[in-house]
Structure 1
Amino acid sequence: MSRALSCIVVLFAHLVWISHGRRGYGPGEQDWGHIEVRPGGYMFYWLFYTTGGNIPNYADRPLIIWLQGGPGSASTSYGNFGELGPIDMDSQMRHSTWVKDFNVLFIDQPLGTGFSYLDNHTKCSENNRELGKDLVSFMNGFYSRHRVFQKVPLHIFGQSYGAKVASEFALQLQNETTSKLISVNLVSPWISPLLSVMSWGRILLTIGAIDDQLYSDIHEASLEVGHLMKRNLWSDATNQMFTVQRLIAAQGIDLYNFMEPTENTELRENQLMNGPVRVALNLSESLQFESFSNVVFESLSSDFMKAALTTVEQLLEGTSLKVNIISGQLDLICSTLSTVHWIKRLKWSGRGAYSSAPREAIIVRDKIEGFQKTGGTLTMFWVKNAGHSVPVGNARAMSEILKTLRAIK
């Protein structure tokens, strides 16, 4: 092949690459838009094609879906700019971005969150099963637009309440589509809400953050959450959970990192998304972005305190999916202590293998950044020096965890 022809081939290959994406906000090729997941319900997504070098095609790298929690927090803002996208809240390059090694798809869910919206006659989702159904419908639409991704390994990540959604989504997707779903990854998971709430006072007393009297107050308020749940007063249980949180917050303790306060970024997210991002993505001014939707949260208030242990058990027992649980050891709201407790309660055939498996250190540059334990298709990752937002709390540990996904065939 002549040198001139070689140059033409290289140029053509580059054009094929960029033709799949658009220039959006920040570096690299992107795509975005709305998919109608049910009549009057339009879910917004923002896709970042991997920027990793030494690959002939982006389809040679897996696709990661990121689901934020809340419910009602937007993946395209906090998940993207606050945790793992190519640039941060200050529009600076993020060296630890996941886009270096993966195609990353941020989805604003549930409907009504972020740039996702509903027509006036369309109701918000009210339970986890409905959320999973909407996301499966979204994926059908997404695969219709991006057919090449049907053959690309898929990993679903959900954080906090998003982990609860991710478990249901993965279960339904496994049964209803032909995607190459490989793993579901539950980050700082809100899977057993009552165990989470009951752990707060115990942790804070143990580390000396509260005294015996305040512990007693928190413990009594936490027990009331359980009493309300037993009577199926789910919205009341959610409100009582907030009473417990207020007792803790009054002491200057951050539920998302009990060692140091975390920034409330809602205002910055709204300014960013309603300003330069909207302009760059050419989105209608009629779409008002909210980093957190109270309407969405209220619609799910009766589902918020319901556990998803059965769903995780179904993933472990009824599918071949890898189930990874990732917990920051400084997280209080979805504490490591409560996570370990609900894992012990899971009923599945691999329970014995997991219980007897050794816990191994995650070592990066001769430093222990966390631990991991695998039994059957379940892996638990303990991440040191990270709170609720693990990807940004300890990027080195998270990078090692992501390497395990690329190793799965």
Structure 2
Amino acid sequence: MRRLGVDLEVDVKMERYSQFLVLAMVCLIVPWVAVAYAAPISGTKDGSEQWGYVDVRPGAHMFWWLYRSTSKASNTTAIPVLMWLQGGPGGSGVGVGDFREIGPLNEHLQPRKYSWVEIADLLFVENPVGTGFSYVNDPSLLPTNNSQVSSDLLQFLVEFVKLRPDLSKRPLFIFSESYGGKFASELGVMVHKAVAAGSLDLNFGGVALGDAWISPLDSMYSWGPFLYTNSRLDANGVVEVKQAVDKTAEFMRNGKFENATYQWEKVEDLVLTLSNQVDFYNILEADEAGTESSISSATSMSMLMKRSRTFRDSFGYFDAVKAVEAVNGTQTLPLSELMNTVIREKLQIIPTSVRWQSSSDEVFTALTGDFMKDTIHQVDKLLHHGVKVAVYSGQLDLICSTPGTEAWVQKLKWTGLEGFNKQVRTPLYCNSNSTGGFVKKYKNLSFYWVLKAGHYLPIDSPCVAQQMASLIMS
């Protein structure tokens, strides 16, 4: 099953001696941060990173990780805080968003060029509870609808500001990817109301919806025509896909939302068959993203142990960069193994019962009945209240395609929509004379079209993506 905003990984089964080496590596390394599980905040000695758990409900523990910005801005109080919400639902922001997309280091523990830490403090939140390093004491505590997820996130922010009151006056922007857009849109409304009521001390900057699953049906109805114009479907295929989407819409009209989700899966399978396995996240990729290969050689494991040790023993990502650059070789741990060994040991607060996965089946299943519902009305509320809303979309994304995004934007009841439509797009450039994208702005709504990028926009077009994020927060 595919998830929105995160590729499902197959856990790697390592050879016996590899398992032994990993176990030895974990046991022999002395933890570099002495932290008790009850500590509200843990982190590096230089303060460049902090992390911890917030109990958003009794038995529901939400994990967060904050990176201090490397920005050279003279006025540090103006540096924004960027809260990142991954898709899925159940995709790990700490694993995927941080190490694969915008964090200071990539999944090979190498410094990332155009990391968003250069323009903002980065706050990754494992959301909903049950995702990544977040966990619940009992499966019955998993949220089953978008409002419950957003309420948990609001409670997280209330408690987080208590832990870091110094951040409350700096502008906080909620950035989201894919299904995370549904969370961000409703959370944004809740945050606005809480700030207005005085129950949340926060300088709310706005919401950014990236390749967002705001209106599932609009996205799905765009698949056939979009693939037709890109030669991945013929006219007969377009008709066949539309008929399958019509069945999804019928389930929605009859209030059979779980059936609609199951039909969504069938439509995806049909598209894959008719298009000869088009990549839903980037239509120009040759195939769907493959699973990560297993590392089984003793040489590779030896190198990884050295790299892991230097990262874990470092005081922060600045020192880690220097240490990792000194290690030769290109093979690295698969992300699932990296998170469950190197990163777990660095953090020192993850319960032994919690195993990191890129995407949680349990979280997705709990939200099956809510998956196909749209949140266009929440975006309308944000715009009506004057909250800054940015929508951005990758040209090559299929699952949350640009045509589908444009379709739901045109359904907004916001009074400024007519004025927005009349605006002329402005081209975007980044270290090149070639066009990197376009932007259209009117009042508190902006729309960014990013070229040569798919669903994982920061990966495919990192320079333009960073520039876009900076413009959104300016």
Q: Does the pair score TM above 0.5?
A: yes
2:276 matches 1:276: no
Structure 2 counterpart of 1:310: 377
Partner AA of 2:51 in structure 1: W
Structure 1 counterpart of 2:393: 327
Equivalent of 2:218 in 173, 190, 195: 195
Structure 2 counterpart of 1:11: none
1:114-263 equivalences under 5 Å are 114-120=132-138, 122-176=140-194, 177-250=200-273, 251-260=276-285, 261=287, 263=289
Q: 1:404 to 1:121 in 2, by over 3 A?
A: closer
Partner AA of 2:371 in structure 1: F
Q: Structure 1: any 5+ residue segments left out of the alignment? A: 1-19
Equivalent of 2:66 in 38, 44, 47: 47
Give the conservation status (yes or no) of the 8 Å contact 1:266–1:291.
Answer: no
Deviation of 1:122 after TM superposition, in Å, equals: 4.5
Q: How far apart, in 2, do the equivalents of 1:92 and 1:121 lie?
A: 36
Give the conservation status (yes or no) of the 8 Å contact 1:40–1:122.
Answer: no
Give the conservation status (yes or no) of the 8 Å contact 1:21–1:29.
Answer: no
Give the conservation status (yes or no) of the 8 Å contact 1:64–1:157.
Answer: yes
2:114 matches 1:70: no
Q: Deviations over 1:125-176 (max 9, x none)?
A: 1111111110010011111111101111111001111011001111101111
Q: How far apart, in 2, do the equivalents of 1:217 and 1:387 lie?
A: 25
Partner AA of 1:47 in structure 2: L
Partner AA of 2:142 in structure 1: C
Q: How far apart, in 2, do the equivalents of 1:71 and 1:378 lie?
A: 25
Partner AA of 2:84 in structure 1: W
Equivalent of 1:340 in 406, 410, 416: 406
Equivalent of 2:130 in 90, 112, 123: 112
**Number of aligned residues:** 384
Runs (4+) off by over 6 Å? none
SS in 2 for 1:82: helix
Q: How far apart, in 1, do the equivalents of 2:222 and 2:190 lie?
A: 31
TM-score normalised to the size of structure 2? 0.78
Q: How far apart, in 1, do the equivalents of 2:210 and 2:291 lie?
A: 20
Give the conservation status (yes or no) of the 8 Å contact 2:115–2:466.
Answer: no
Q: How far apart, in 1, do the equivalents of 2:443 and 2:168 lie?
A: 26
Q: Structure 2: any 5+ residue segments left out of the alignment? A: 1-40, 195-199, 294-333
Deviation of 1:274 after TM superposition, in Å, equals: 0.5
Q: Aligned residues: percent identity?
A: 34
Q: How far apart, in 2, do the equivalents of 1:204 and 1:113 lie?
A: 32
Partner AA of 2:391 in structure 1: I
Q: How far apart, in 2, do the equivalents of 1:406 and 1:186 lie?
A: 13
Q: Deviations over 1:100-145 (max 9, x none)?
A: 1210000000010001111127421111111111001001111111
Give the conservation status (yes or no) of the 8 Å contact 1:256–1:331.
Answer: yes
SS in 2 for 1:400: helix
Partner AA of 1:203 in structure 2: F
2:447 matches 1:356: no
Structure 2 counterpart of 1:6: none
Equivalent of 2:50 in 15, 28, 31: 31
Equivalent of 1:88 in 72, 81, 106: 106
TM-score normalised to the size of structure 1? 0.90
Partner AA of 1:183 in structure 2: G
SS in 2 for 1:154: strand
